[in-house]
Homo-oligomer: A and B are copies of this chain.
Amino acid sequence: MSSKRVCLAYSGGLDTSTILKWLILEGYTVVCFLADVGQEEDFPAVEKKALALGAERMIIDNLQQEFVDELIFPAIQCNAIYEDRYLLGTSLARPVIARAQVRAAQKYKCDFLSHGCTGKGNDQVRFELAWKACDPSISIIAPWRLPKFFNRFQGRADLLKFAAENDIPVSSSPKAPWSMDDNLAHCSYESGILEKPELEPPANLWTRTVDPLKAPDVPTKFTLHFAKGIPTKLEIGGEEVVGSLEIFKALNKVGHDNGVGRIDIVESRFIGLKSRGCYDTPGLTIARLAHIDIEGLVLDSRVRTLRDRNVTTEWSQCLYNGMYFSPEREFLENSIVFSQKNVNGQVHMMVYKGSAYVLGRSSETSNLYSEIEASMDTLEGFSPEDTSGFIAIQAIRLEKYGAQKIKDGEPLAKAN
Protein backbone atom coordinates (compact mmCIF):
# COMPACT_ATOMS: atom_id res chain seq x y z
CA MET A 1 0.00 0.00 0.00
CA SER A 2 1.34 3.37 -0.93
CA SER A 3 0.74 4.77 2.53
CA LYS A 4 3.04 2.28 4.23
CA ARG A 5 6.49 2.64 2.74
CA VAL A 6 9.58 1.77 4.75
CA CYS A 7 13.23 2.48 4.08
CA LEU A 8 15.11 -0.36 5.74
CA ALA A 9 18.81 -0.48 6.55
CA TYR A 10 19.56 -3.78 4.87
CA SER A 11 22.83 -5.68 5.12
CA GLY A 12 21.92 -8.97 3.51
CA GLY A 13 22.36 -10.89 6.76
CA LEU A 14 19.89 -13.13 8.48
CA ASP A 15 18.49 -10.46 10.81
CA THR A 16 17.73 -7.80 8.28
CA SER A 17 16.58 -10.34 5.70
CA THR A 18 14.07 -11.59 8.24
CA ILE A 19 12.99 -8.04 8.97
CA LEU A 20 12.65 -7.31 5.26
CA LYS A 21 10.40 -10.31 4.75
CA TRP A 22 8.46 -9.65 7.92
CA LEU A 23 7.81 -6.04 6.95
CA ILE A 24 6.51 -7.19 3.57
CA LEU A 25 4.29 -9.74 5.26
CA GLU A 26 3.05 -6.95 7.53
CA GLY A 27 1.96 -5.09 4.42
CA TYR A 28 4.78 -2.61 3.96
CA THR A 29 6.49 -1.70 0.75
CA VAL A 30 10.20 -1.81 1.50
CA VAL A 31 13.02 0.24 0.01
CA CYS A 32 16.30 -1.28 1.09
CA PHE A 33 19.29 0.87 1.85
CA LEU A 34 22.93 -0.04 2.26
CA ALA A 35 25.74 2.43 2.74
CA ASP A 36 29.19 1.75 1.38
CA VAL A 37 31.44 3.11 4.10
CA GLY A 38 34.36 1.00 3.06
CA GLN A 39 33.35 -2.33 4.50
CA GLU A 40 34.22 -5.71 2.97
CA GLU A 41 30.98 -6.55 1.19
CA ASP A 42 29.62 -8.19 -1.97
CA PHE A 43 27.27 -5.35 -2.84
CA PRO A 44 25.73 -6.92 -5.98
CA ALA A 45 24.89 -10.05 -3.99
CA VAL A 46 23.17 -7.98 -1.33
CA GLU A 47 21.14 -6.18 -3.95
CA LYS A 48 20.15 -9.41 -5.63
CA LYS A 49 19.05 -10.90 -2.34
CA ALA A 50 17.00 -7.85 -1.36
CA LEU A 51 15.15 -7.83 -4.64
CA ALA A 52 14.63 -11.58 -4.48
CA LEU A 53 13.06 -11.20 -1.06
CA GLY A 54 10.63 -8.63 -2.38
CA ALA A 55 12.21 -5.24 -1.77
CA GLU A 56 10.89 -2.57 -4.11
CA ARG A 57 14.42 -1.45 -4.74
CA MET A 58 17.88 -1.64 -3.23
CA ILE A 59 19.86 1.57 -2.82
CA ILE A 60 23.59 1.28 -2.37
CA ASP A 61 25.17 4.60 -1.56
CA ASN A 62 28.92 5.11 -1.61
CA LEU A 63 29.63 7.43 1.33
CA GLN A 64 33.35 6.80 1.70
CA GLN A 65 34.39 10.28 0.73
CA GLU A 66 32.00 12.11 3.04
CA PHE A 67 32.79 9.62 5.78
CA VAL A 68 36.45 10.53 5.64
CA ASP A 69 35.96 14.25 5.14
CA GLU A 70 33.15 14.95 7.57
CA LEU A 71 33.76 12.43 10.31
CA ILE A 72 37.11 10.70 10.31
CA PHE A 73 39.20 13.79 9.69
CA PRO A 74 37.44 15.90 12.33
CA ALA A 75 38.02 12.97 14.71
CA ILE A 76 41.71 13.21 13.89
CA GLN A 77 41.65 16.97 14.33
CA CYS A 78 40.41 16.66 17.90
CA ASN A 79 42.25 13.43 18.81
CA ALA A 80 38.87 11.86 19.48
CA ILE A 81 38.85 8.99 21.93
CA TYR A 82 36.26 7.39 24.19
CA GLU A 83 37.12 6.17 27.66
CA ASP A 84 40.83 6.60 26.94
CA ARG A 85 40.91 3.78 24.41
CA TYR A 86 38.19 3.52 21.79
CA LEU A 87 38.70 5.50 18.57
CA LEU A 88 34.98 5.49 17.77
CA GLY A 89 35.10 3.69 14.44
CA THR A 90 31.46 2.59 14.47
CA SER A 91 30.24 5.81 16.03
CA LEU A 92 31.90 7.83 13.29
CA ALA A 93 30.19 5.95 10.49
CA ARG A 94 26.68 6.20 11.88
CA PRO A 95 25.95 9.86 11.12
CA VAL A 96 26.80 9.62 7.42
CA ILE A 97 24.86 6.39 7.07
CA ALA A 98 21.83 7.71 8.94
CA ARG A 99 21.78 10.91 6.97
CA ALA A 100 22.06 9.15 3.64
CA GLN A 101 19.24 6.81 4.60
CA VAL A 102 17.04 9.80 5.40
CA ARG A 103 17.84 11.22 1.98
CA ALA A 104 16.88 7.89 0.42
CA ALA A 105 13.66 7.74 2.44
CA GLN A 106 12.80 11.26 1.36
CA LYS A 107 13.57 10.53 -2.28
CA TYR A 108 11.42 7.41 -2.35
CA LYS A 109 8.62 8.88 -0.24
CA CYS A 110 8.98 6.53 2.66
CA ASP A 111 6.89 7.09 5.79
CA PHE A 112 9.12 4.95 7.96
CA LEU A 113 12.76 4.28 8.60
CA SER A 114 13.77 0.90 9.95
CA HIS A 115 16.88 -0.92 11.12
CA GLY A 116 17.89 -4.28 12.53
CA CYS A 117 19.77 -3.07 15.61
CA THR A 118 19.12 -4.82 18.90
CA GLY A 119 17.45 -3.14 21.83
CA LYS A 120 20.49 -3.16 24.08
CA GLY A 121 23.10 -1.61 21.89
CA ASN A 122 24.38 1.82 20.98
CA ASP A 123 23.58 1.70 17.29
CA GLN A 124 19.82 1.86 17.61
CA VAL A 125 20.27 5.09 19.57
CA ARG A 126 22.72 6.51 17.06
CA PHE A 127 20.54 5.76 14.06
CA GLU A 128 17.32 6.94 15.57
CA LEU A 129 18.60 10.15 17.13
CA ALA A 130 20.20 11.01 13.80
CA TRP A 131 17.02 10.20 11.91
CA LYS A 132 14.85 12.22 14.24
CA ALA A 133 17.15 15.20 13.95
CA CYS A 134 17.49 14.91 10.17
CA ASP A 135 13.79 14.49 9.49
CA PRO A 136 11.44 14.59 12.47
CA SER A 137 8.53 13.84 10.14
CA ILE A 138 9.55 10.27 9.36
CA SER A 139 8.50 7.58 11.83
CA ILE A 140 10.67 4.70 12.98
CA ILE A 141 10.15 0.95 13.08
CA ALA A 142 12.61 -0.83 15.36
CA PRO A 143 11.53 -4.49 15.11
CA TRP A 144 13.84 -5.70 17.85
CA ARG A 145 12.00 -3.46 20.26
CA LEU A 146 8.50 -4.43 19.08
CA PRO A 147 7.01 -7.17 21.29
CA LYS A 148 5.23 -8.60 18.26
CA PHE A 149 8.62 -9.14 16.65
CA PHE A 150 10.95 -9.95 19.51
CA ASN A 151 8.52 -12.34 21.13
CA ARG A 152 8.29 -14.24 17.86
CA PHE A 153 12.00 -14.32 17.19
CA GLN A 154 13.52 -15.25 20.51
CA GLY A 155 16.69 -16.78 19.21
CA ARG A 156 18.63 -17.73 16.13
CA ALA A 157 16.59 -20.90 15.78
CA ASP A 158 13.43 -18.88 15.26
CA LEU A 159 15.16 -16.81 12.61
CA LEU A 160 16.41 -19.88 10.79
CA LYS A 161 12.96 -21.43 10.92
CA PHE A 162 11.40 -18.29 9.48
CA ALA A 163 14.09 -18.20 6.81
CA ALA A 164 13.37 -21.76 5.81
CA GLU A 165 9.65 -21.04 5.65
CA ASN A 166 10.09 -17.91 3.59
CA ASP A 167 12.81 -18.88 1.16
CA ILE A 168 15.40 -16.61 2.70
CA PRO A 169 18.80 -17.86 1.62
CA VAL A 170 21.09 -18.50 4.56
CA SER A 171 24.84 -18.53 4.19
CA SER A 172 26.21 -22.04 4.30
CA SER A 173 29.44 -20.95 6.00
CA PRO A 174 29.09 -21.14 9.77
CA LYS A 175 28.43 -17.84 11.48
CA ALA A 176 31.36 -16.46 13.47
CA PRO A 177 30.66 -16.71 17.19
CA TRP A 178 30.73 -12.90 17.52
CA SER A 179 29.28 -9.97 15.58
CA MET A 180 31.25 -7.54 13.47
CA ASP A 181 30.89 -4.03 12.11
CA ASP A 182 33.30 -3.10 9.41
CA ASN A 183 34.01 0.26 7.82
CA LEU A 184 36.91 2.38 6.62
CA ALA A 185 37.76 3.43 10.15
CA HIS A 186 37.82 0.07 11.83
CA CYS A 187 36.26 -3.31 12.29
CA SER A 188 34.54 -4.02 15.60
CA TYR A 189 33.96 -7.41 17.21
CA GLU A 190 31.56 -8.01 20.05
CA SER A 191 29.00 -10.34 21.65
CA GLY A 192 29.02 -14.12 21.46
CA ILE A 193 32.16 -15.63 22.88
CA LEU A 194 33.54 -12.14 23.53
CA GLU A 195 30.98 -11.62 26.26
CA LYS A 196 33.36 -13.31 28.67
CA PRO A 197 35.74 -10.36 29.14
CA GLU A 198 38.34 -12.48 30.85
CA LEU A 199 38.94 -14.62 27.77
CA GLU A 200 41.41 -13.67 25.08
CA PRO A 201 39.79 -13.18 21.67
CA PRO A 202 40.70 -15.86 19.14
CA ALA A 203 43.58 -15.15 16.78
CA ASN A 204 41.38 -15.40 13.69
CA LEU A 205 39.03 -12.66 14.86
CA TRP A 206 40.89 -9.66 13.52
CA THR A 207 40.28 -8.66 9.90
CA ARG A 208 41.78 -5.22 9.43
CA THR A 209 45.21 -5.96 10.89
CA VAL A 210 47.65 -8.80 10.55
CA ASP A 211 48.83 -10.44 13.73
CA PRO A 212 51.68 -8.32 15.11
CA LEU A 213 53.61 -11.55 15.60
CA LYS A 214 53.34 -12.20 11.89
CA ALA A 215 54.00 -8.66 10.73
CA PRO A 216 57.16 -7.87 8.75
CA ASP A 217 60.47 -8.03 10.54
CA VAL A 218 61.51 -4.73 9.03
CA PRO A 219 59.85 -1.48 10.06
CA THR A 220 58.14 0.75 7.54
CA LYS A 221 58.81 4.47 7.63
CA PHE A 222 56.71 7.27 6.16
CA THR A 223 55.84 10.94 6.55
CA LEU A 224 52.38 12.36 7.05
CA HIS A 225 51.71 16.01 6.24
CA PHE A 226 49.03 18.14 7.89
CA ALA A 227 47.38 21.42 6.99
CA LYS A 228 44.95 22.91 9.51
CA GLY A 229 45.06 19.62 11.38
CA ILE A 230 44.01 17.59 8.35
CA PRO A 231 46.19 15.00 6.61
CA THR A 232 47.07 16.35 3.19
CA LYS A 233 49.87 14.14 1.93
CA LEU A 234 51.47 10.84 2.75
CA GLU A 235 55.01 10.08 1.63
CA ILE A 236 55.66 6.38 1.75
CA GLY A 237 57.92 4.03 -0.14
CA GLY A 238 59.06 6.80 -2.45
CA GLU A 239 55.49 7.65 -3.42
CA GLU A 240 53.28 10.59 -2.56
CA VAL A 241 49.65 9.95 -1.76
CA VAL A 242 47.23 12.87 -1.87
CA GLY A 243 43.45 13.13 -1.56
CA SER A 244 41.78 12.54 1.79
CA LEU A 245 40.25 9.17 0.98
CA GLU A 246 43.39 7.93 -0.73
CA ILE A 247 45.61 9.00 2.16
CA PHE A 248 43.36 7.35 4.67
CA LYS A 249 43.23 4.11 2.71
CA ALA A 250 47.01 4.12 2.41
CA LEU A 251 47.33 4.61 6.17
CA ASN A 252 44.92 1.72 6.65
CA LYS A 253 47.09 -0.44 4.46
CA VAL A 254 50.37 0.29 6.19
CA GLY A 255 48.66 -0.09 9.55
CA HIS A 256 47.07 -3.35 8.48
CA ASP A 257 50.29 -4.81 7.20
CA ASN A 258 52.13 -4.01 10.41
CA GLY A 259 49.44 -5.02 12.86
CA VAL A 260 48.81 -1.53 14.21
CA GLY A 261 45.65 -0.54 16.08
CA ARG A 262 44.21 -3.54 17.90
CA ILE A 263 42.44 -2.89 21.15
CA ASP A 264 40.30 -4.98 23.47
CA ILE A 265 38.23 -3.17 26.09
CA VAL A 266 35.20 -3.17 28.31
CA GLU A 267 33.29 0.02 27.62
CA SER A 268 30.23 1.83 28.96
CA ARG A 269 27.35 1.83 26.53
CA PHE A 270 25.14 4.89 26.43
CA ILE A 271 22.22 2.97 27.85
CA GLY A 272 24.05 2.17 31.07
CA LEU A 273 25.41 -1.32 30.45
CA LYS A 274 29.03 -2.34 30.19
CA SER A 275 30.06 -4.40 27.19
CA ARG A 276 33.23 -5.85 25.81
CA GLY A 277 34.47 -4.78 22.40
CA CYS A 278 37.49 -5.55 20.29
CA TYR A 279 38.49 -3.16 17.54
CA ASP A 280 41.18 -2.96 14.91
CA THR A 281 41.68 0.54 13.69
CA PRO A 282 44.89 0.74 11.70
CA GLY A 283 44.86 4.04 9.81
CA LEU A 284 43.07 6.10 12.40
CA THR A 285 45.45 4.95 15.14
CA ILE A 286 48.41 6.12 13.08
CA ALA A 287 46.85 9.39 11.98
CA ARG A 288 45.71 10.27 15.49
CA LEU A 289 49.21 9.68 16.89
CA ALA A 290 50.74 11.81 14.15
CA HIS A 291 48.24 14.57 14.81
CA ILE A 292 48.89 14.58 18.55
CA ASP A 293 52.56 14.82 17.77
CA ILE A 294 52.36 17.75 15.37
CA GLU A 295 50.17 19.57 17.86
CA GLY A 296 52.98 19.24 20.37
CA LEU A 297 55.10 21.33 18.04
CA VAL A 298 52.64 23.95 16.86
CA LEU A 299 49.70 24.27 19.25
CA ASP A 300 49.78 26.82 22.03
CA SER A 301 49.90 24.99 25.35
CA ARG A 302 46.94 26.80 26.85
CA VAL A 303 44.76 26.25 23.80
CA ARG A 304 45.77 22.62 23.90
CA THR A 305 44.76 22.29 27.52
CA LEU A 306 41.39 23.88 26.85
CA ARG A 307 40.81 21.79 23.75
CA ASP A 308 41.80 18.58 25.54
CA ARG A 309 39.61 19.33 28.51
CA ASN A 310 36.63 20.87 26.80
CA VAL A 311 36.41 19.48 23.32
CA THR A 312 38.11 16.13 22.79
CA THR A 313 36.19 14.06 25.30
CA GLU A 314 32.93 15.90 24.80
CA TRP A 315 32.98 15.56 21.02
CA SER A 316 33.84 11.88 21.43
CA GLN A 317 30.92 11.35 23.78
CA CYS A 318 28.58 13.14 21.39
CA LEU A 319 29.60 10.71 18.69
CA TYR A 320 29.49 7.66 20.91
CA ASN A 321 26.05 8.55 22.19
CA GLY A 322 24.59 9.25 18.78
CA MET A 323 24.45 13.01 19.27
CA TYR A 324 26.27 13.98 16.09
CA PHE A 325 23.29 15.94 14.81
CA SER A 326 23.04 18.14 17.87
CA PRO A 327 23.65 21.76 18.75
CA GLU A 328 26.43 20.77 21.12
CA ARG A 329 28.36 18.83 18.46
CA GLU A 330 28.09 21.79 16.13
CA PHE A 331 29.27 24.05 18.96
CA LEU A 332 32.22 21.79 19.68
CA GLU A 333 33.20 21.33 16.08
CA ASN A 334 33.37 25.07 15.62
CA SER A 335 36.03 25.04 18.32
CA ILE A 336 37.88 22.18 16.73
CA VAL A 337 38.21 23.95 13.41
CA PHE A 338 39.32 27.15 15.09
CA SER A 339 41.95 25.36 17.17
CA GLN A 340 43.51 23.86 14.07
CA LYS A 341 44.24 26.93 12.01
CA ASN A 342 47.96 26.75 12.69
CA VAL A 343 48.31 22.97 12.83
CA ASN A 344 50.54 22.62 9.80
CA GLY A 345 53.59 20.46 9.39
CA GLN A 346 54.83 16.95 8.84
CA VAL A 347 55.48 13.98 11.06
CA HIS A 348 57.99 11.31 10.31
CA MET A 349 56.91 7.91 11.59
CA MET A 350 57.62 4.24 11.73
CA VAL A 351 55.37 1.23 12.16
CA TYR A 352 56.63 -2.12 13.33
CA LYS A 353 54.94 -5.25 14.63
CA GLY A 354 51.89 -3.70 16.25
CA SER A 355 53.20 -0.26 17.14
CA ALA A 356 53.48 3.15 15.54
CA TYR A 357 56.30 5.47 16.54
CA VAL A 358 57.00 9.11 15.88
CA LEU A 359 60.56 9.72 14.76
CA GLY A 360 60.54 13.47 14.19
CA ARG A 361 58.41 16.40 13.14
CA SER A 362 58.70 19.87 11.66
CA SER A 363 56.59 22.84 10.66
CA GLU A 364 57.31 25.74 8.39
CA THR A 365 54.60 28.02 9.74
CA SER A 366 54.81 27.93 13.52
CA ASN A 367 57.03 30.06 15.73
CA LEU A 368 56.24 28.23 18.95
CA TYR A 369 59.24 25.92 18.95
CA SER A 370 62.58 27.63 18.75
CA GLU A 371 65.77 25.64 18.89
CA ILE A 372 67.65 28.61 20.27
CA GLU A 373 65.13 29.38 22.96
CA ALA A 374 64.70 25.77 23.98
CA SER A 375 68.41 25.16 24.13
CA MET A 376 69.89 24.54 27.53
CA ASP A 377 73.25 25.64 26.14
CA THR A 378 72.47 29.27 25.44
CA LEU A 379 70.79 32.17 27.18
CA GLU A 380 70.15 34.17 24.04
CA GLY A 381 66.99 36.21 24.45
CA PHE A 382 66.42 34.80 27.90
CA SER A 383 67.02 36.38 31.27
CA PRO A 384 67.41 33.70 33.94
CA GLU A 385 66.53 36.11 36.72
CA ASP A 386 63.02 36.31 35.29
CA THR A 387 62.47 32.74 36.31
CA SER A 388 63.37 33.61 39.88
CA GLY A 389 60.58 36.14 39.95
CA PHE A 390 58.21 33.75 38.26
CA ILE A 391 58.90 31.11 40.87
CA ALA A 392 58.70 33.56 43.74
CA ILE A 393 55.26 34.75 42.68
CA GLN A 394 54.01 31.22 42.05
CA ALA A 395 55.25 30.28 45.50
CA ILE A 396 53.22 32.87 47.39
CA ARG A 397 50.19 30.62 47.60
CA LEU A 398 52.24 27.51 48.26
CA GLU A 399 54.21 29.02 51.09
CA LYS A 400 50.96 29.91 52.82
CA TYR A 401 49.82 26.36 52.29
CA GLY A 402 53.02 24.97 53.78
CA ALA A 403 52.88 27.42 56.69
CA GLN A 404 49.30 26.41 57.45
CA LYS A 405 50.32 22.74 57.43
CA ILE A 406 53.09 23.45 59.92
CA LYS A 407 50.63 25.34 62.11
CA ASP A 408 48.22 22.40 61.85
CA GLY A 409 50.94 20.01 62.97
CA GLU A 410 51.19 18.23 59.63
CA PRO A 411 54.36 19.66 58.10
CA LEU A 412 54.77 18.81 54.44
CA ALA A 413 58.41 17.92 54.94
CA LYS A 414 57.36 14.72 56.71
CA ALA A 415 56.97 11.67 54.53
CA ASN A 416 53.61 9.94 54.79
Set of chain B residues within 8 Å of A79, measured between Cβ atoms: 84
Contact B377 A191 (CB under 8 A): yes
Question: For the complex, what is the distance from the CA of A335 to the CA of B330, rounded to whole Å?
Answer: 11
Of chain B, the residue at the smallest CB distance from A84 is B292
Given A120-B373, A353-B353, A367-B400; 6 other pairs, CB 8 A cutoff: A83-B308, A120-B382, A120-B384, A305-B313, A389-B393, A390-B390
CB<8 Å pairs between A and B, sample of 12? A70-B416, A96-B415, A99-B415, A102-B413, A103-B415, A121-B376, A191-B374, A265-B358, A300-B401, A305-B317, A309-B309, A352-B354
The contact size tier of chain A is 35 or more
Set of chain B residues within 8 Å of A179, measured between Cβ atoms: 376
Task: Give the contacting residue for A326; candidates B305, B308, B389, B398; CB below 8 A.
Answer: B398
A-to-B contact residues, CB < 8 Å: 66, 69-70, 79, 83-85, 96, 99-100, 102-103, 106, 118-121, 124-125, 128-129, 132-136, 142, 144-145, 147, 150, 155-156, 179, 190-192, 195-200, 212-213, 219, 262-268, 271-276, 292-293, 296-297, 300-310, 313-314, 317, 323, 325-328, 331-332, 334-335, 338-339, 342, 348, 352-355, 357-362, 366-371, 373-377, 379, 382-404, 407, 411-416
Contact A402 B325 (CB under 8 A): yes
Set of chain B residues within 8 Å of A360, measured between Cβ atoms: 197-200, 264
Contact A397 B367 (CB under 8 A): no
Question: For the complex, what is the distance from the CA of A135 to the CA of B401, rounded to whole Å?
Answer: 10
Question: For the complex, what is the distance from the CA of A376 to the CA of B388, rounded to whole Å?
Answer: 22
Of chain B, the residue at the smallest CB distance from A124 is B387
Set of chain B residues within 8 Å of A306, measured between Cβ atoms: 310, 314, 328, 331-332
Contact B326 A397 (CB under 8 A): yes
Q: How far is the CB of A218 from chain B (nearest CB, A)?
A: 8
Set of chain B residues within 8 Å of A129, measured between Cβ atoms: 391, 394-395, 398
Set of chain B residues within 8 Å of A297, measured between Cβ atoms: 197, 266, 274
A393 and B390 contact, Cβ closer than 8 Å, known pairs A268-B301, A355-B353 = yes
Set of chain B residues within 8 Å of A103, measured between Cβ atoms: 413-415
Q: How far is the CB of A311 from chain B (nearest CB, A)?
A: 8
Question: For the complex, what is the distance from the CA of A341 to the CA of B102, rounded to whole Å?
Answer: 27
Q: How far is the CB of A224 from chain B (nearest CB, A)?
A: 14
Q: How far is the CB of A194 from chain B (nearest CB, A)?
A: 10
Task: Give the contacting residue for A327; candidates B69, B303, B355, B416; CB below 8 A.
Answer: B303
Task: Give the contacting residue for A150; candidates B310, B334, B379; CB below 8 A.
Answer: B379
Contact B119 A212 (CB under 8 A): no
